[in-house]
Amino acid sequence: MTSILFAKNVQLEKAKYYCQLSSKNAQLKAYNLYKSVYIKSLIDNNKKEKIEALKGLIECSKKLHLKSDDYERELSYLIGGKKSLYKPKLAKNKTTTQHSTLTSYRLKSGYVQFFFNRPIDKKDIRHFTLKRGSIYKDIYDIKARLGFKKIIKKLHTVDKMKIAQYKKDVVRIVFENSSAIRSRFSLKNRLLNIYLKKNSSTSVSKKSPDTIRVIPQVIKNSSYTIVIDPGHGGKDSGAIGYKRKKEKDIVLSIAKKVYKSLKNAGYKVYLTRRGDYFISLRNRTKFANKVHANLFISIHANAAPKRSRYLTMHGLETFYLSPARSSRAKRIAALENRVDMQGMNYYSKNVYLDFLNREKTILSNKLAIDIQKNILYHLRKRYKVKDGGVRPGPFWVLVGAQMPSILIEVGYITNPTEAMRLSNPIYQKLIAKGVVEGVESYLKNIEK
């Protein structure tokens, strides 16, 4: 990808794209994407993103005939310090600006050249990617006119290239492929070069069956980035369990084994913390977004609410971010959220669950199911473990993640039997093995 892509908020780019489509479903998707960006801007305290998200919410609201007064009022306050309603500026019909015209293109080895009748600027180019089903799209929107008819062309590097007049003053160039595409561009006066590269595939030498089976999988896995988040840390010890065992210590030990197992499987892996220090909840997913993670997995240990239930409450549970439907989920979420709920404003405290991206929630649910199932499979080979199930829950640590994200409660630290197991390196390795195989099962299913 070009550096320009990472400099911008990808969700904002996608939202702008969907909002311009005539389909109500696309506009609704844009509306939800803008909401997701808005709640992330609250978490990151990013005023610029907040303004862009609010503008998008207002535009989509009007197209969908939804109320936008609250968004308009907040935007007016942000940009001018006034509480009167924001009114989008209307373009004045003065002299029309002259647009560049795309006059021709030329196919080269590994790149395509595009020729314009006058110089174009980087600010006139918007680059973003989309994935629709199994098709990857790398898109360039250029402020220009098209000097020839719509083109659909097969290329050696990618499956298809399309060039068309997307809007009156925007030419759209789309590269389509069945696997992910990496591209970058360069500008020189009237010449635009777009360099194309598919994600690296492996040429396998015919040495042994093992080489043929294993090496492609490791190469394939290396294209995925996973962030493992050991809960709590430093001043926040988490739950205190049997024999004064601390949640922060147990989950760090498990997280390191998960990290090592995923690295050995060929994935690119990060830990949010490697030692006993405090990291705020919002900075955990902020880090995952920064490294462009594909998955975010937070590891915690549970605790019974009353001493009288220490012996009876046990088992493995996995949560994904969604409005909690049970008092049990709300209780566990309240326990995990308690350290980082100070300083939240009205929107982030009361409305953030309405801002969830539906597609991300569905994928998070699938990831939770696969990991829960595989951890249980490995633990039950040697231990009797209760299946606490996969549940939705309002966990603040998962808010703001731009990728599928889950929270695993590996067991009850207040239960004497489970507390001793959770401290056992053998038990921890079985959990790690289950997480790795759960991740592999999830990725295999979504790639179908």
| Assessment of whether the complete model's pTM goes beyond 0.85 | no
Residues of the chain above pLDDT 90, percent: 42
Evaluate if residue 129 carries a pLDDT over 70: yes
The values of phi and psi at residue 423, to 5°, are -90, -5
> If one looks up domain 210-446 in CATH, what number appears?
3.40.630.40
Average pLDDT over every residue of 127-136: 84
How many H-runs (helices) and E-runs (strands) does the chain carry?
13, 15
Evaluate if residue 68 carries a pLDDT over 90: no
More confident residue, 78 or 301: 301
Question: What's the rounded Cα separation, in Å, for the pair 353 and 39?
Answer: 9
pLDDT at 97: 53
Evaluate if residue 427 carries a pLDDT over 60: yes
Q: 308 burial class (0-12, 13-18, 19+ CB within 10 angstroms)?
A: exposed
Indicate the domain borders of the chain.
3-80, 100-198, 210-446
Residues of the chain above pLDDT 70, percent: 78
Question: What's the rounded Cα separation, in Å, for the pair 308 and 414?
Answer: 11
pLDDT level of residue 44 (50, 70, 90 thresholds): low
pLDDT level of residue 43 (50, 70, 90 thresholds): low
DSSP classification of residue 354: G
Domain 100-198: which topology?
Answer: Immunoglobulin-like (2.60.40)
Could you tell me whether strands 225-230 and 316-321 are parallel, antiparallel, or unpaired per DSSP bridges?
A: unpaired
- CA proximity to 239, closest of 335, 329, 143: 335
Residue 97 CA: distances (Å) to CA of 10, 132, 172, 434:
29, 35, 19, 60
139-158 pLDDT tens trace:
999 999 998 889 898 888 88
69-114 pLDDT tens trace:
778 888 887 877 554 455 554 444 444 456 789 988 888 888 999 9
Q: Are 434 and 385 in contact (CB under 8 A)?
A: no
164-196 pLDDT tens trace:
998 888 999 999 998 888 889 999 888 999 999
The residue type of 111 is Y
351-395 pLDDT tens trace:
444 444 567 788 899 999 999 999 999 999 999 999 999 988 767
